[in-house]
Amino acid sequence: MVSRKEQMQRIWHQYDSRRDHKPSSMRQAAAWAVADGFLTLPEVDPIDILAERWLRLFERNTRLFTGTTVSCKPRCPRHQERRAILRFGA
Q: Distance between CA 36 and CA 34 in Å, rounded?
A: 5
Say whether both 83 and 57 belong to one domain.
Answer: yes
Residue 11: which pLDDT band, with cuts at 50, 70 and 90?
A: very high
Indicate the number of domains in the chain: 2
Question: Is there a single domain that holds both residue 83 and residue 50?
Answer: yes
State pTM to two decimals: 0.51
Whole-angstrom distance, CA of residue 39 vs CA of residue 16:
16
In terms of residue numbers, what domain contains 59?
46-88
Quick check: 89 and 81 in contact, CB under 8 A?
A: no
pLDDT tens-digit map of 13-57: 999 999 888 888 899 999 999 999 999 998 889 998 898 888 888
